[in-house]
């Protein structure tokens, strides 16, 4: 499958995309003394995104990368997740995320702003090498050259390296260069998201815990970030069509309220409190799992390799885990081909499982499930997800 002869001792690893996956990989490589450069199409790496849940496997991975302290400084400790009935508000299932949970899984569960993870990684990468990140570099093509790969960018520049890693997200161009022509499929789910200063909400809605409101064909997830100062919510509903995808399409709060008009007043209070400039809407796209990610000196990582629906809160976690495992495989020094073979062997199954489980989790929350079903489902997944130690897994 992979007959590239490149030896990485004197050639850089080219990372395409400066999102969470790309920056985590750059940092994991730098920490192992390996040369790396990141190429990001955006003119600057700015303040985009909203809430992300950091499960213990992700927290552990950030600790290994040395940035957990920085992320924790702005994080919320939720302490509890409760699934509630969409109309009555009755608690149908609860999971304690406190001390016993932390002891069981080895690390804490946090709610954070995506930007805080991204900025912590960026700061650490630049501290190690101020020249590492190249913005305004949109990857358009690549060709195999003797001992490696040559990347072409939209600004006319070309760069050579020993390996090129596509960390370019759900619409990955690197993925198409590897030979996958599968388009991302619209799942008929759209998500309204909003960020609200907690003082704009009734006092009983300002707590740190995570609440999942479960209703037919719709569900809402809400929690606070930034040490409890900001309420983050995602309200998922069905939609026949969607033309756009992205993180910066402004939402119409009136339309969101109409969609949830028969829902509990606490849900409506949150949606209704969204400041006009802090509400967004996006379509949820999905792809089927792949059976390999690499061709010659090209491979994939994060959403480019395994985009997943957000219902398991594992998109960022899987990208960071990938980064640590890939860096560890490359560090072993037995050449790119073997490193990529090991990387796939260690990561394909787990990430494919997450992709499929994320689909199921969404369906579960959208059919007003029974308590036993909800409890059993969460406990089984938690065990498999949260105990994973990317820094320790045997290579």
Active-site residue, 223 included = yes
State the catalytic residue, choosing from 223, 233, 280, 388: 223
Q: DSSP secondary structure string, 227-279?
A: TTTEEEEEEEEE-S------S-PBP-HHHHHHHTTTS-HHHHHHHHT--GGGE
Question: How large is the angle between the packed helices 315-331 and 56-64, nearest 10 degrees?
Answer: 40
**Residue 321 binds ligand FAD, judged by CB under 6 A:** no
**What are the DSSP E strand ranges found in the chain?**
13-16, 36-39, 51-54, 80-85, 91-96, 110-113, 133-134, 139-145, 148-153, 158-161, 163-166, 185-197, 210-215, 218-225, 230-238, 279-286, 298-300
The smaller minimum CB distance to ligand FAD, of residues 92 and 112, is found at: 112
Burial 219-252 (b: 16+ CB within 10 A, else e): bbbbbbbbebebbbbbbbbebeebeeeeeeeebe
> Residues 222, 303, 321, 344: which binds ligand FAD (CB under 6 A)?
303
Residues 45-74 as x/- pattern, contact with ligand FAD by CB under 6 A: ---xxx-x----------------------
> Residues 17, 148, 215, 283: which binds ligand FAD (CB under 6 A)?
17
Strand partners, 71: none
**Residue 78 binds ligand FAD, judged by CB under 6 A:** no
Binding-site size, ligand FAD (CB under 6 A): 30
Other CB atoms within a 10 A radius of the CB of residue 168 amount to 27
The smaller minimum CB distance to ligand FAD, of residues 40 and 344, is found at: 40
Residues 202-241 as x/- pattern, contact with ligand FAD by CB under 6 A: ----------------------------------------
> Residues 72, 168, 321, 344: which binds ligand FAD (CB under 6 A)?
168
Is residue 23 a contact partner of residue 36, using CB atoms and an 8 Å limit?
no
> Residues 11, 15, 22, 163: which binds ligand FAD (CB under 6 A)?
22
Q: Single out the segment in contact with ligand FAD by CB under 6 A; choices: 37-45, 103-111, 351-359, 377-385.
A: 37-45
Active-site residue set: 223
In the complex, the residues that contact ligand FAD under the rule CB under 6 A are: 16-22, 39-42, 48-50, 52, 114, 138-139, 167-169, 173, 247, 302-304, 310, 315-316, 319
């Amino acid at each position: 499958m992979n007959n590239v002869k490149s030896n990485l001792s004197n050639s850089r690893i080219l990372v395409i995309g400066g999102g969470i996956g790309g920056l985590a990989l750059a940092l994991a490589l730098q920490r192992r003394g390996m040369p790396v450069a990141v190429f990001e199409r955006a003119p600057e790496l700015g303040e985009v995104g909203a809430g992300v849940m950091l499960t213990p496997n992700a927290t552990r991975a950030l600790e290994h990368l040395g940035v957990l302290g920085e992320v924790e400084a702005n994080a919320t400790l939720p302490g509890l997740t409760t699934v509630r009935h969409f109309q009555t508000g009755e608690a149908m299932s609860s999971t304690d995320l406190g001390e016993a949970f932390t002891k069981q899984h080895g690390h804490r569960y946090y709610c954070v702003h995506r930007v805080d993870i991204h900025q912590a990684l960026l700061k650490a990468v630049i501290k190690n090498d101020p020249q590492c990140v190249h913005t305004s570099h949109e990857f358009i093509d690549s060709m195999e050259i003797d001992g490696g790969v040559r990347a072409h960018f939209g600004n006319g520049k070309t760069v050579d390296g020993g390996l090129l890693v596509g960390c370019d997200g759900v619409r990955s161009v690197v993925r198409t260069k590897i030979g996958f022509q599968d388009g991302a499929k619209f799942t008929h789910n759209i998500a309204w998201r909003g960020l609200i200063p907690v003082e704009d909400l009734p006092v009983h809605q300002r707590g740190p815990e995570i609440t999942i409101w479960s209703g037919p064909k719709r569900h809402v997830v809400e929690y606070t970030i930034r040490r409890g100062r900001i309420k983050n919510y995602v309200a998922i509903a069905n939609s026949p069509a969607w033309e756009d995808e992205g993180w910066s399409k402004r939402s119409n709060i009136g339309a969101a309220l109409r969609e949830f008009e028969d829902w509990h007043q606490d849900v409506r209070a949150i949606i209704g409190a969204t400041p006009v400039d802090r509400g967004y809407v996006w379509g949820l796209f999905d792809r089927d799992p792949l059976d390999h990610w690499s061709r010659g000196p090209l491979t994939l990582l994060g959403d480019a390799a395994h985009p997943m629906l957000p219902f398991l809160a594992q998109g960022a976690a899987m990208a960071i885990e990938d980064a640590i495992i890939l860096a560890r495989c490359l560090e072993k020094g037995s050449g790119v081909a073997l490193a990529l073979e090991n990387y796939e062997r260690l990561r394909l199954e787990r990430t494919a499982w997450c992709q499929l489980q994320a689909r199921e989790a969404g369906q579960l929350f959208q059919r007003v499930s029974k308590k036993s079903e909800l409890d059993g489902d969460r406990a089984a997944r938690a065990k498999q997800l949260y105990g994973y130690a990317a820094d320790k897994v045997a290579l």
